Chain A
Amino acid sequence: MMSLELTINGERRALAAHPGDTLLDVLRREGYVGVKKGCGSGDCGACTVLLNGRAVNACLVLAARAEGASILTIEGLADGDRLHPIQEAFLDEGAVQCGYCTPGMVLSAYDLLSRNATPSEGEIREAISGNLCRCTGYVKQIRAIQTAAERMRSERDE
């Protein structure tokens, strides 16, 4: 076992990890179970988290590589009871069906909107192209991200 220091959802944590552990293994073991496992090989995106502000597949990151990093998981997105605008938009637009891909999809959208406040539909599709969803057909998720972008812009303008 080795010791790992990192920041998860704004909180400094010291965690124990096996050398072969992925970031996904460690996060789930520590109770961040909103980080989902769908394949373990970087194909489905269900384990998407933000590592130093960029969306990554946690199953492809060795935990040791996250030493000193800042991680955002879905659990850190809402402000208490106040959902993030992306989460609100996912609910309003019917973008959640089974909800298993939702945390990863929402975080990919968060990554996109943090870099691009006015994404085109093509840019949205590109941003979530690594997040597989078998329930929705993506139509409602794309719309939800557009809605979230609009709401975030108008919030900022106020």
Chain B
Amino acid sequence: MSDRPREPFVVVGQSVRKVDGVGLVKGNPKFVADTDLSGALHVRILGSPHAHARILRMDVSAAEQIPGVVLILTHENTPPTRHTTAGQGYPEPSPYDARMFDTKVRFVGDRVAAVAAETEEAADEALRAIHVTYEELPAVLSIDDARAEGAPVIHDEKDSTGIYEAGRNIVADVDIDVGDVERGFAESDVVVETTCETQYAQHAPIETHVVHSYLDSDDRLVLRTSTQVPFHVRRIVAQTLGIPIRRIRVIKPRVGGGFGAKQEVLLEDIAGWITLKTGRPAFLSLSRAEEFVAARTRHPMRVRVKLGAKRDGVLHSIEMEATSNTGAYGAHGLTVLANTGSKTLPLYNKAQNARFYGQAVYTNLPVPGAYRGYGATQGYFPLETAMDELAERLGLDPVELRRRNHIRVGETSPIFEKLGEGREGVSQTVKSCELERCIAIGAERIGWREKRGTRRREGAWVHGVGMSIMMQGSGIPQIDMAAATIKMNEDGSFNLLVGATDIGTGSDTILAQIAAEVLGVPASRMIVTSSDTDLTPFDVGAYASSTTYVSGMAVQRAAEKVREQILSVAVPVLKAPAEGLRLVDEHVVGPGGARVSLAQVCQRAMYSSDQFQIAATASCVPSESPPPFLANFAEVAVDVETGVVKVVHYVAAVDCGVAINPLMAEGQMEGAIVNGIGYALSEEMLLSSTGRVRNPSLFDYKIPGALDVPDLDVILVGSYEPTGPMGAKSVGEIGINGPIPTIANAIYDAVGIRLRKTPFAPERVLAALQGEKVRKGER
């Protein structure tokens, strides 16, 4: 397993500084909005006041008269092409159910019009002067409403495609099985069943969605945009606006956080159209309130899990049923739903009978999309809650129950093949898995044996510990594609050009480290240019935990090709065969110690002899998606008088293969866990009875601050993934799945209540505590 022989790494495994770090700590102009915006039109969007309505008439004449107003966009003067805003590979597994502007609005905040003006104030004034006559329609405000007999049909238009059953508000339907779950439950000694619900929650990147568009000197449309998916933006904007891909250049500067929110084409079509129509630069940035109302959220879900086990604690049958609320549009509806099963059930591969089924339904509510964890987060809540309940029923330590059931090296799960990214998956055998060590290390660190079941009391605070385990994937096998180009400069430095999209994850840095490792140079010798559709090769972008594994492999392959070219130049210089040469310390070193510097090699290739540009491009389409694994342990304290839950200590032991940059890998885990703790305890988009977001601010929507973070231990448990670049697999998403079930199980250990609805806010905890007292006859 992890003892697999390998060369010692020089650059990989080092926590080198971020290649873009100095500019970031100095506050250099690196983000979309940091450019000179003088001369740009300011764009503002008019959102719908109704959850569901038809637009009968629009009168923009008064708005057009406002000084400074240049252009007003509505459904009457924009292309009607149906498309999806989901930035996914082509053809997208999301329905084409959106238009730039439609004659119908489907959630409060849905696009009605956009104004481009000389100033933001003029644009805002014009928004207020646009008169819209709506015919209000009955709204669908919950998944139960959506599925009710005779429910209003949200997508009743004829030209949308890819919807499973529009007339019943069903976006997607998934149903796969292995063996026979019913027979499996009948054969089981113990069966438990639990249903959990998750809330509307938002990514809340500190930089909201923002785009700056302009025409270059050849009248091509340039979009500088805060995106996770520059190449998908180019393709989808071309499709939506009806212009050729070759006329568009997408540049992604630094991005102020994405977390899935920016795997979406939200603004680029509007800015692009304005620039095309006016010839002028345009700038469009969502306010924080608009971000909450009209950007993307996590899919709220109701998920039921039923587990059957034999008396020895080995799972025999697993059933998971998910109903996903995909809001007013179906972006990521199918794939998030499918991932709820595909990223969870293979973990417990001992069960011979397994079924996952469910539907994603439209509602007239804010639009969910991709969000770190991508369905797995919603699935692990009931799965790991049910495992805890099963352990209790069997009289087994929850740690021991997991040990008896989790997947191991050399094993597979039929789910891998049955269920993939909204379609059939890809069969694979697990080649690296240190989950057993993760569990042991985590249990030790939290003090599992000493603390479990003790219900230690400090005043009104009662302590408990809980745990959970999980897996994710590393990219989308046989779908994701990444490419990298490396070219050499005569000082021995290299340009590394990648489509891969660093959104603050540090991918520019770890990709530089991978290339540097192969080329025998420090990471600082790699000049990284990423995510410019004119300059860098294709990459699907930053999603599905793919960058390290997929883009990293493309970089490694490109570097290996460049290495061969370097050696071919060095052979006549060192008068030694290529096989005996190594790249060390910026030199090519021969068997006898003879050496030539990389700078000399490149100078020779550029200026002296058999001249050519040392450069190569390579691609990667992964054939599998090796899961990272995680064991979570938490100690919580519950205030039994107020219902407040405090996480005292959180331990996350993760197997992400070789960590290319350990500090950054820890940072990914820490950020994901703290985001998950917010999701578990405080974050919730509150919706009014008319479907309006009631708390669209960072004051009212509480994301964790520095005072809210527990004592947090992330432990990187090394393994070596043989199919990954330098032994690496993913680490970006998995951490966010942990806090909900881990905290829920710890609360149960502390006070004996099972919380099945997030967030675990004080009023909900208090109500459950009081219910428990009633049940026990204490009141």
Contacts and interface: CB of A to CB of B under 8 A. Distances in A.
Contacts of A140: 663, 666-667, 670
Interface residues of A, number: 53
B21 interface: yes
A68 to B, nearest CB: 24
Majority-rule SS of B interface residues: loop
Contacts of B667: 94, 97, 135-137, 140
A39 interface: yes
A99 interface: yes
Contacts of A78: 26
B26 A75 contact: yes
Interface in A24-54: 28, 32-41, 43-44, 46
B709 A137 contact: yes
A144 B257 CA distance: 20
B777 interface: no
A96 B24 contact: yes
B671 interface: yes
Interface string B355-384: 000000000000000000000000000000
B31 A136 contact: no
A130 interface: yes
A99 B30 contact: yes
Interface in B13-49: 15, 17-18, 20-22, 24-31, 33-34
Interface string A12-28: 00000000000000001
B256 A98 contact: yes
A125 B34 CA distance: 29
Contacts of B412: none
A74 B206 CA distance: 17
Contacts of B712: 137, 139
A138 B20 contact: no
A121 B666 CA distance: 20
Contacts of A32: 27
A75 B30 CA distance: 13
Nearest to B26: A78
B32 to A, nearest CB: 11
A146 interface: no
Nearest to B673: A137
B670 A134 contact: no
Contacts of B705: 129-132, 138
A83 B26 contact: yes
B607 interface: no
Nearest to B711: A139
B505 interface: yes
Interface residues of B, number: 55
Contacts of A92: 17
Interface in B649-691: 663-664, 666-667, 669-675
Interface string A71-82: 001110110000
B697 A75 contact: no
Majority-rule SS of A interface residues: loop
B528 to A, nearest CB: 15
B343 interface: no
Contacts of A137: 667, 669-675, 709, 712
B503 interface: yes
A41 B288 contact: yes
Contacts of B15: 94
Contacts of B706: 124-126, 128-129, 131, 138, 141-142
A117 interface: no
Interface string B188-204: 00000000000000011
Given A43-B697, A137-B712, A100 B670 contact: no
Given A94-B666, A100-B257, A139-B670, A83 B25 contact: yes
Interface string A94-120: 101111111100100000000000000
B390 to A, nearest CB: 31
A132 B664 contact: no
B698 interface: yes
Interface string A52-80: 00000000000000000000011101100
Most central of A32, A90, A135 by chain B CB within 10 Å: A135
A37 B226 CA distance: 14
B206 A134 contact: yes
22 contacts: A33-B29, A41-B698, A74-B25, A87-B25, A91-B18, A94-B667, A96-B18, A97-B505, A98-B256, A99-B20, A99-B254, A100-B257, A103-B25, A129-B705, A134-B203, A134-B204, A134-B259, A134-B671, A137-B667, A137-B675, A139-B666, A139-B714
Given A33-B27, A41-B698, A125-B707, 5 more contacts: A37-B33, A87-B25, A98-B503, A99-B21, A132-B705
Interface of B: 15, 17-18, 20-22, 24-31, 33-34, 203-208, 254-257, 259, 287-288, 503-506, 663-664, 666-667, 669-675, 697-699, 703-707, 709, 712, 714
Which 4 residue pairs across A and B have the least CB separation, nearest first? A34-B27, A98-B504, A100-B256, A99-B24
